[in-house]
Structure 1
Amino acid sequence: MTERNIALVTGASKGIGAAIALALAEDGFDIWLNYRNDHAAAEAVRDAIQAKGAACTLLSFDVADGDKVKAALDPLLAQAVPFAVVNNAGFTKDGLLPLMPPEAWKSVLSVHLDGFYNVTRAILPLMLRKRKGRVVNIVSTSGQSGMPGQTNYSAAKAGLIGATKALAAEVAKRNILVNAVAPGFIETEMIKNLPKEHILPRIPLGRVGSAQEVADAVSFLCSDKATYITGQVLAVNGGIYM
């Protein structure tokens, strides 16, 4: 019996993260599903993953807390090494920079950048030893074009794009591919209060995207169809930024 690959997906109890976890389960991965504190939502995603015939291990920890990341992952890493790591955990605390409190700046950067470092750093040495693996970072159009009222979020996502490219160059010779997926406006909780009537005219395709469309891009980058792609940012944005 062929051993199944494992994918660790952070921030996967809802929205884009949940869609990614389900798509990878459909592709034949067993899932390590990270979330912070929404146990009921995480359990619902786990049940859906198991219904697809995949195993799912729930991991409740804050990616920004290095000690908690280590405590959660070390026991699992002693037994197995994920083939794919999807750094999806993130959130927004929007506001104009002159009015932005330090906590809104630091917390957004910490979850995105420290979270990427803590999770990827925990697994990468083992990937290097195996000489195979995929890292996919979920970034944003905001990190490519900048977004007023999101200086913190834009800075975090732009930093993650830079980290993607640098890490891709570092580990390519060990057959580890590192890429990013940059969603635009996607139908999730993050945009539910935004004025669609102002957003849609700016999108060439005339609609917002779905979490499944982002998940399909991640599925591709984790598949055997993407073996010559690394250091790239795959935009899933309907053409709003080209």
Structure 2
Amino acid sequence: MSSVFKNNTVYANISIGGSMRTVLITGASKGIGRQTTEDFLAAGYNVIANFHTTKMDKSEYPSFQEHIEVIKADVSDYGQVEEMFKKGKERFGNIDVVINNAAVNYAGLLSQMEEKDWDRIINVNLKGIFNVCKCAIPSMVNRKAGHIINISSMWGITGASCEVAYSVSKAGVIGFTKALAKELAPSNIYVNCVAPGIIQTDMNKAYTQQELEEMIPLGRIGKCRDVSEMLLFLADEKTSFITGQVFSVNGGTVI
């Protein structure tokens, strides 16, 4: 458990209307999603934490039992996403912030990639965001309030050799974000994107620490908290003039 829980300090995150705000985080069981879950709980949010293949349980957060709901769902399956939103709303009411973090990867030559692997990456990384946003938007439009934050990647900006499908899916996330931001701006809904660089997660376990650090001008691998702190910033109601933007958290790897 990260140090954010050690002193059991909770910073109240209260909406303008006076109620505690609720965030839904997909892919919350590990890496950036797990850190984001911990940090939003510590910041005083109710958290709906989604997982699929890597199991998680609310008992892992003993100090926050009243403020977390853990729901298993495959984001590429619209029916499961719909059910996740239903359960989340039954527990906490309106969902104020959505963070689309769930993603899968494939490393290898495109010529050797099977169609099922391509479909899986596009379905989770891109269709999954469509499914989640489609379920989130009606309530946000009715309330004329909401934040949607999509996780892309620096490879969605530059492309990565031997990661064509992943790069395509993450480039799609950027295009999706910009178009949806224009569509939802009249309803006072903010849609932004975070594009992490090399972060200490399972996705980079094929490389040594030295290999990774040599790619980064700041000379260190990014931490999951470097990303979660940007997400906390973008979810804040004070960021009321920021929408349709892509925020790179990459230590200067892509400038």
Please indicate the TM-score interval, normalised by the length of the shorter structure: over 0.9
TM-score, normalized by length of structure 1?
Answer: 0.93
How many residue pairs match? The answer is 238
After TM superposition, what 4+ stretches of structure 1 lie above 6 angstroms from structure 2?
Answer: none
**Further displaced range: 122-131 or 221-230:** 221-230
Amino acid at match of 2:218: L
1:145-160 equivalences in 2 (<5 Å):
145-160=158-173
Amino acid at match of 2:206: N
**Further displaced range: 197-206 or 170-179:** 197-206
2:20 corresponds to: 4
Gaps of 5+ in 2: 1-13
**How many Å apart are 1:143 and its aligned residue?**
0.4
1:83 corresponds to: 96
TM-score, normalized by length of structure 2?
Answer: 0.88
* Inter-partner Cα distance in structure 1 for 2:182 and 2:211: 39
1:68 and 2:84 aligned = no
1:238 and 2:254 aligned = no
1:28 and 1:54 in contact (8 A); partners too = no
Structure 1, residues 67-112: CA drift from partner, whole Å, max 9, x if none?
1111232244367221000000001011111111111111001101
2:132 corresponds to: 119
**How many Å apart are 1:49 and its aligned residue?**
4.4
What secondary structure does 2:50 align onto? Answer: strand
1:104 corresponds to: 117
Amino acid at match of 1:13: S
2:107 corresponds to: 94
Task: Say what the alpha-carbon RMSD is for the aligned residues.
Answer: 1.7
2:5 corresponds to: none
User: How much identity, in percent, do the aligned residues show?
Assistant: 34
**How many Å apart are 1:175 and its aligned residue?**
1.1
1:135 and 1:177 in contact (8 A); partners too = yes
Gaps of 5+ in 1: none
2:27 and 2:52 in contact (8 A); partners too = yes
What secondary structure does 2:214 align onto? Answer: helix
